[in-house]
Chains A and B, each alone.
Chain A
Amino acid sequence: MEYEQTVTGAPAVSAELAADRRTYLKERSIRYVWFLTAVFGVLTVFFILAFLVKDGILIFAETTPAEFLFGATWNPTGAIPAYGTLPLWVGTILVTIGAMVIAAPLGIACAIVIAELASPRVKAVIKPAVELLAGIPSVVYGFFGLIVLTDFIRVNFSIPSGETWLAGSILLGIMALPTIISVSEDAISAVPKEYREGSLGLGTTRWQTISQVVVPSALSGITAALILGVGRAVGETMAVLMVTGNAPIIPDPIYNILSPIRTLTGTLGIEMGETAIGSAHYHALFGVALLLLFITLAVNLSATMFLGHIHRKQTGTGKGPGRLSLVLEAHRRTIRWGVAAAAFLLVALIVSPLVAVVFALIGVAWRYIPSRIEPHHQQTVAFVLLYGAIAVVLAALAVILGYIVVNGLPAISWEFLTTAPRALGREGGILPAIVGTLCLVAGAIAIALPIGVGAAIYLIEYTRENVLTRIIRTGVDLLNGTPSIVFGLFGFSFLVLYLNFGVSLIAGQVTLALMVLPTVIRTTEEALRSVPDSLRQGSLALGATQWQTISRVVLPSAMPGIITGAILSIGRAAGETAPIMFTAVVFSSRFLPSSLSDPVMALPYHLYILATNVPGADTNQYGTALVLIALVTGIYLVAIALRTHYQKSIRW
């Protein structure tokens, strides 16, 4: 008996071992693949950085680093060339601050309404509307800004020209909104129901629950949303160069929002194309691109530190408060009053004493009056303000869309959609541009989605926070903040020239894929994070392997968030002009693309050329804008339908 058992048992054991080993190898190799995708982001950043440094460093043969950074004159083609970037980076910072002043309160308010207050039916209208805002290409924003917004500002503020810091900030604010709203909303929705129920059960109003429980719990996600928004604003090229006037001056006085300004991206956007390769001016522009990256790095690093702080505070794990935060905590009152006094003085000196007093009164009211007003009245006021924010956002969308639809509809005909352009695009249609855009976007997403989702899976599911993940995250952050025009420069110098792809579909797809990669990673990370740990533990406890847990339990649950990321990416890729301008597009091509090495026509570039280079193409230009927006809407509708389906089928 004993002998028999051993004989029959041995093969079974070795088979089991082999199966174990296979599972182990499979798990290892899957982990390895995701690790590679995660590292990809970092390598890309170093690669881009190396290319920029290689060309940018040479400017210091012409000028000193101090002169380059703090020189007040940017005039690279003057009789005596001057390469001072001070007005450029000050302009970038000012226009971004302005944009966030507009977008942060509006965006967070909208996210709160969508996540907490709106009925499903209202939500079904607002959410797609906001995503549509993301789908409006920057070149359309820029053109709208140039024709409508700057004129509005010029007339209403009675100034000689409406091309101002203010115009840039308004446009950038609107453009940063969808990112802020979508990501904040995901974060707020992910706050566990129990928090709300607990708070409401204690007898608070809904507004008290939202403002004291839900929003603070979602703060890390909201901060991530704001960072993404800043990244969007800092990196925007086409819209900003069309409305800020591009005068390389520092506003005088510095708070003069009606002064023209010039940003770092604007400088690259308008000067790069026509600068002789290898000239001092060319190297100076690569220096500008480097500076842009360093600003992004500074913003992102400080934000990462801030996020880490919140994370520690929330989870209660980690090292506990450091000495600095203990000191800060001890002097909290003093610091708060100090900051308030400094802000008061600053506003009084810069804007006007009257405005400062008004702000101070609002501040005092904010601090002391709520305790005297009944919670329900507070709630009414808060809700009115929140819905007001929604109304502002929807109105902006309605104005921009209405303008394009009204002007664009007369151009639309069957012929317009199915023929190639003629006479510089004044006549004929845009079929090759439609096909080209679809190819560019599909290729970019096909490349970016697997890599991005894989990287996020590795970061969230396979590792704990350590030096490596911090480096990867920083790399992704930096990639996220990298302006699209820089991707364009990189694509041109690396893919088109160095790898000798030529101006081609594949070069554009890769460039666009790199550009949307961080969005895919960040939103997927948020989505994975929002999946409760209990689900993973349950699955693992039942004996599932890690990959089984991820693929069968975690990913399906995180799908709505991942799809949101894909939607945002598609919207961005379809509308971008700067990254494809030097890498993929031709103004006209007689035939549809037949291979990846062919250049293509694309709708945003076609619109850009019609709007700025072809006299007398007004009708077709609005028609192209309308088709571009309709196309993006179509893509969005499919994605939104998919997401709604998931949201209905997932419950925990």
Chain B
Amino acid sequence: MNMRSKPFIAFTLAVVLLGTAFVCGCTDSGTGPAETETISVTGSTTVLPLAQLTAEAYMDTHPEADIQISGGGSSVGVTAVGEGTADIGMASRDLKSEEVTNYPDLVQHVVAKDAIAIIVHPSNTVSDLTVDQIKSIYLGDITNWQDVGGPDETIVVVGRDSASGTREYFHESVMDKEDFTTSQLEKNSNGAVRQTVAQTPGAIGYVGLGYIDATVKAVPVKTGSGIVDASVATVISGEYPIARGLNMFTDGEATGLAADYLAFIMSPDGQALVAEEGFVPVA
């Protein structure tokens, strides 16, 4: 029966080609050395840059190591390591009570600290803010920059999503667990907050130290002891009031490559990279 029409053959061919592409592309292209050891690191997008930089440096000197980094969020990290789908979970917060119950064996490694900087548009003339003023802005009680020494402009309040570890810390340490204004714009990452603040003249936002650049202005915080810039030095000295720890979790004590990798992060070389990315070293 050679009566099959050309289109049908072509169609079959197309399917076969797709199938082949998928098989060839994915099973025959392993180019790594024969004896590689692989670990996966997943979770908080705040910790991700730190993990990635240190992993690259580690792999440069250990050609047999393959450290795969992915994001997803703090809870994804905790769940993944708890369920055994990842070797290391990253979280920008401590374990919640449900997680402690579900995964009692998780071991916490504090790999860095991070300040949460208050950022505004570069054109904003506000010179400093007290923690109470920041709180009033995020409560929706202060709605114009004039009231805190800035220009006559409506304040656009930008925050993180309600599941963010960064927001959770902000909620506890700045807001005293009071509710944010409902008109707050919510962003799912540090980068998105910075992007919005950078192009919105009236905006205020909060991001990790590593996200400050020329496109936004970090507002110094006025405390009892004076006006404090958000910086590595002020976090180490304990002067900057809004700072928290960044964590990596393992299921039980770390072993093998995971243990070596964590040790590298805590080594002087690793902590130097941590500082380079704008985080605060802990060792």
What is the interface of chain A, defined by CB distance below 8 A to chain B?
Answer: 73, 75-79, 146-147, 150-151, 154, 160-163, 241-242, 245-249, 260, 262, 269-279, 281-282, 422-424, 435, 438-439, 442-443, 445-446, 449-450, 496-497, 500, 502-503, 505, 509, 551-552, 555-556, 559, 562, 581-582, 585-596, 599, 609, 611-616, 642, 645-646, 649-650
Contacts and interface: CB of A to CB of B under 8 A. Distances in A.
Nearest to B66: A590
A487 to B, nearest CB: 15
A596 B27 CA distance: 7
A367 to B, nearest CB: 42
Given A161-B185, A615-B191, A276 B75 contact: yes
A613 B45 contact: yes
B199 interface: yes
Contact of B8 (A73, A278, A551, A587): A551
B196 A552 contact: no
Interface string B196-213: 100111110000001101
Nearest to B52: A424
17 contacts: A78-B179, A163-B185, A247-B185, A271-B163, A274-B73, A278-B102, A446-B22, A449-B15, A450-B15, A496-B85, A500-B85, A505-B26, A588-B52, A588-B55, A591-B66, A595-B27, A642-B10
Contact of A613 (B74, B78, B80, B191): B191
Contacts of A585: 70
Contact of B48 (A505, A559, A595, A613): A613
A586 B68 contact: yes
Interface of B: 3-8, 10-11, 14-15, 18-19, 21-22, 25-27, 29-32, 36, 40, 42, 44-45, 48-49, 52-53, 55-56, 59, 66-76, 78-80, 83, 85-86, 96, 98-99, 102, 153-156, 161-165, 167-168, 171, 177-180, 182-192, 194-196, 199-203, 210-211, 213, 278
Given A497-B85, A503-B86, A248 B182 contact: yes
B7 A435 contact: no
A232 to B, nearest CB: 21
B8 to A, nearest CB: 5
B76 A274 contact: yes
Closest 9 A/B residue pairs (Cβ): A273-B73, A594-B30, A442-B22, A274-B73, A270-B188, A270-B161, A586-B70, A246-B186, A612-B191
B200 to A, nearest CB: 5
Contacts of B188: 241, 269-270, 273, 612
A128 to B, nearest CB: 18
A423 B53 CA distance: 6
A423 B48 CA distance: 12
Nearest to B26: A439
Contacts of A509: 22
Contacts of A422: 56
Given A77-B171, A586-B69, A592 B52 contact: no
A349 to B, nearest CB: 24
B279 to A, nearest CB: 12
B203 A161 contact: yes
A593 B26 contact: yes
B54 to A, nearest CB: 11
B29 to A, nearest CB: 5
A78 B168 CA distance: 10
A497 B86 CA distance: 11
Contacts of A78: 177, 179
Nearest to A562: B11
Contacts of A642: 10, 14
B99 A276 contact: yes
A587 B51 CA distance: 11
A599 B18 contact: no
Contacts of B75: 273-277, 282
A271 B159 CA distance: 13
Contacts of B163: 76-77, 270-275, 281
Given A151-B199, A278-B102, A592-B31, A245 B68 contact: no
B173 to A, nearest CB: 14
A108 B262 CA distance: 58
B200 A446 contact: no
Contacts of A76: 162-163
A102 B249 CA distance: 48
Contacts of B5: 552, 556
A273 B76 contact: yes
A260 B179 contact: no
A260 B156 CA distance: 11
Most chain B CB neighbours (cut-off 10 Å) among A249, A274, A552, A592: A274
Most chain A CB neighbours (cut-off 10 Å) among B18, B154, B168, B278: B18
Most chain B CB neighbours (cut-off 10 Å) among A151, A591, A613: A613
A590 B213 contact: no
Contacts of A497: 79, 83, 85
Nearest to B9: A556
Nearest to A242: B192
B87 to A, nearest CB: 11
Given A146-B192, A503-B86, A589-B66, A274 B182 contact: no
Contact of B7 (A559, A594, A599, A615): A559
A649 B6 contact: yes
Contacts of A551: 4, 8
Most chain B CB neighbours (cut-off 10 Å) among A76, A509, A590, A645: A590
Contacts of A591: 30-32, 36, 66
Contacts of B195: 146-147, 612
Contacts of A596: 26-27
B96 A279 contact: yes
A582 B76 contact: yes
Contacts of A582: 72, 76
A446 B30 CA distance: 21
Most chain A CB neighbours (cut-off 10 Å) among B26, B75, B154, B278: B26
Contact of B98 (A246, A277, A556, A646): A277
B25 A435 contact: yes
Contacts of A502: 85
Contact of B18 (A446, A593, A609, A645): A446
Contacts of B11: 555-556, 559, 562
Nearest to A505: B26
Most chain A CB neighbours (cut-off 10 Å) among B53, B75, B78, B153: B75
A622 B85 CA distance: 32
Given A423-B53, A587-B52, A274 B165 contact: yes
Contacts of A586: 40, 42, 68-70
Contact of B186 (A247, A435, A581, A594): A247
A245 B14 CA distance: 43
Most chain A CB neighbours (cut-off 10 Å) among B48, B163, B168: B163
Most chain A CB neighbours (cut-off 10 Å) among B14, B44, B53: B14
Contacts of B155: 160
Most chain A CB neighbours (cut-off 10 Å) among B72, B99, B196: B72
A446 B55 CA distance: 34
Contact of A552 (B3, B32, B80): B3
B32 A593 contact: no
A613 B49 contact: yes
Contact of A612 (B79, B85, B189): B189
B182 A249 contact: yes
B244 to A, nearest CB: 14
A585 B72 CA distance: 10
Contacts of A611: 191
Contacts of B59: 590
A642 to B, nearest CB: 7
Given A271-B161, A503-B70, A556-B8, A276 B78 contact: yes
A150 B190 CA distance: 18
A158 to B, nearest CB: 11
Nearest to B16: A446
Contacts of B183: 247, 249, 260
